[in-house]
Amino acid sequence: MSACDTCTKPGACCHDFALNGRSGGLRFDADNWQIEAENRMEQYGMPFIPLRVDMEKIDPVKEAGFVGVRFTCPKVTPEGRCSIYETRPQLCRDYKAGSDKLCVMYVEPITEDQL
Protein backbone atom coordinates (compact mmCIF):
# COMPACT_ATOMS: atom_id res chain seq x y z
CA MET A 1 0.00 0.00 0.00
CA SER A 2 1.34 3.43 -0.90
CA ALA A 3 0.87 6.74 0.91
CA CYS A 4 -1.50 7.67 -1.92
CA ASP A 5 -3.91 4.96 -0.74
CA THR A 6 -4.27 6.64 2.67
CA CYS A 7 -4.03 10.27 1.50
CA THR A 8 -6.29 12.78 3.21
CA LYS A 9 -6.53 14.89 0.04
CA PRO A 10 -6.18 12.55 -2.96
CA GLY A 11 -4.98 14.32 -6.08
CA ALA A 12 -3.97 17.54 -4.31
CA CYS A 13 -0.37 16.98 -5.44
CA CYS A 14 -1.51 17.06 -9.06
CA HIS A 15 -2.93 20.58 -8.87
CA ASP A 16 -1.06 23.87 -8.57
CA PHE A 17 2.50 22.55 -8.78
CA ALA A 18 5.77 23.80 -10.27
CA LEU A 19 8.03 21.72 -12.48
CA ASN A 20 11.76 21.81 -11.85
CA GLY A 21 14.20 21.58 -14.72
CA ARG A 22 17.87 20.70 -14.60
CA SER A 23 18.86 24.18 -13.47
CA GLY A 24 16.23 24.44 -10.74
CA GLY A 25 13.09 25.42 -12.60
CA LEU A 26 11.44 25.79 -15.96
CA ARG A 27 11.58 29.39 -17.09
CA PHE A 28 9.33 31.07 -19.61
CA ASP A 29 9.28 34.48 -21.25
CA ALA A 30 7.22 36.81 -19.05
CA ASP A 31 5.17 38.08 -22.01
CA ASN A 32 4.41 34.68 -23.58
CA TRP A 33 4.54 32.31 -20.59
CA GLN A 34 1.23 30.58 -21.23
CA ILE A 35 1.87 29.73 -24.89
CA GLU A 36 5.48 28.73 -24.16
CA ALA A 37 4.41 26.52 -21.25
CA GLU A 38 1.67 24.85 -23.32
CA ASN A 39 4.13 24.22 -26.16
CA ARG A 40 6.77 22.81 -23.79
CA MET A 41 4.27 20.42 -22.19
CA GLU A 42 3.19 19.22 -25.64
CA GLN A 43 6.85 18.82 -26.65
CA TYR A 44 7.54 16.74 -23.51
CA GLY A 45 4.34 14.72 -23.92
CA MET A 46 3.00 15.97 -20.59
CA PRO A 47 -0.75 16.51 -20.05
CA PHE A 48 -0.16 19.46 -17.69
CA ILE A 49 -1.96 22.79 -18.18
CA PRO A 50 -0.32 26.08 -17.15
CA LEU A 51 -2.29 27.86 -14.42
CA ARG A 52 -0.47 30.99 -13.39
CA VAL A 53 2.86 32.73 -12.99
CA ASP A 54 4.96 31.66 -10.00
CA MET A 55 7.45 34.44 -9.32
CA GLU A 56 8.93 32.84 -6.20
CA LYS A 57 10.70 30.24 -8.38
CA ILE A 58 12.67 32.93 -10.25
CA ASP A 59 15.40 35.26 -9.03
CA PRO A 60 14.17 38.62 -10.41
CA VAL A 61 17.71 40.03 -10.65
CA LYS A 62 19.27 37.08 -12.50
CA GLU A 63 16.19 36.07 -14.48
CA ALA A 64 14.77 39.41 -15.65
CA GLY A 65 12.05 38.86 -18.24
CA PHE A 66 11.42 35.24 -17.25
CA VAL A 67 8.84 33.66 -14.96
CA GLY A 68 8.13 30.32 -13.34
CA VAL A 69 4.74 28.71 -13.96
CA ARG A 70 2.35 26.67 -11.82
CA PHE A 71 0.56 23.76 -13.52
CA THR A 72 -2.41 21.45 -13.02
CA CYS A 73 -3.12 18.00 -14.42
CA PRO A 74 -6.47 17.48 -16.16
CA LYS A 75 -6.07 13.70 -15.93
CA VAL A 76 -6.97 13.56 -12.23
CA THR A 77 -10.45 12.18 -11.55
CA PRO A 78 -12.89 13.86 -9.11
CA GLU A 79 -11.86 11.13 -6.64
CA GLY A 80 -8.25 12.34 -6.86
CA ARG A 81 -6.89 9.38 -8.81
CA CYS A 82 -4.95 9.35 -12.07
CA SER A 83 -7.14 8.47 -15.04
CA ILE A 84 -4.07 7.50 -17.11
CA TYR A 85 -2.21 5.68 -14.34
CA GLU A 86 -0.86 2.86 -16.54
CA THR A 87 0.50 5.33 -19.12
CA ARG A 88 1.25 8.31 -16.85
CA PRO A 89 4.41 10.36 -17.57
CA GLN A 90 7.72 9.15 -16.15
CA LEU A 91 7.86 12.26 -13.99
CA CYS A 92 4.72 11.09 -12.22
CA ARG A 93 6.02 7.53 -11.96
CA ASP A 94 9.20 8.76 -10.29
CA TYR A 95 7.46 11.00 -7.74
CA LYS A 96 7.65 9.62 -4.20
CA ALA A 97 4.61 10.35 -2.08
CA GLY A 98 5.57 12.21 1.09
CA SER A 99 8.93 13.32 -0.31
CA ASP A 100 8.25 17.08 -0.36
CA LYS A 101 5.74 19.82 0.47
CA LEU A 102 3.70 19.06 -2.64
CA CYS A 103 2.34 16.03 -0.78
CA VAL A 104 -0.14 16.68 2.05
CA MET A 105 1.41 13.71 3.88
CA TYR A 106 4.86 15.40 3.96
CA VAL A 107 6.43 15.86 7.39
CA GLU A 108 9.14 18.52 7.69
CA PRO A 109 12.36 16.90 9.00
CA ILE A 110 13.49 18.05 12.43
CA THR A 111 16.82 19.83 12.36
CA GLU A 112 19.45 19.77 15.11
CA ASP A 113 18.72 23.35 16.14
CA GLN A 114 15.07 22.42 16.74
CA LEU A 115 15.99 19.75 19.28
Q: Rounded CA gap, 94 and 104, in Å?
A: 17
The confidence score (pLDDT) of residue 111 equals 77
The confidence score (pLDDT) of residue 66 equals 81
Q: Which of 25, 4, 20 is nearest to 104 (CA)?
A: 4
What pTM did the predictor assign?
0.79
Element (H, E) at 90: helix 90-94
The confidence score (pLDDT) of residue 58 equals 59
Task: Summarize the confidence of residues 52-60 as an average pLDDT.
Answer: 70
How does pLDDT run across 65-105, given as a tens digit for each residue?
A: 788 899 999 999 999 999 999 999 998 999 888 888 888 88
> How far is CA 22 from each of CA 25, 26, 81, rounded to the nearest angstrom?
7, 8, 28
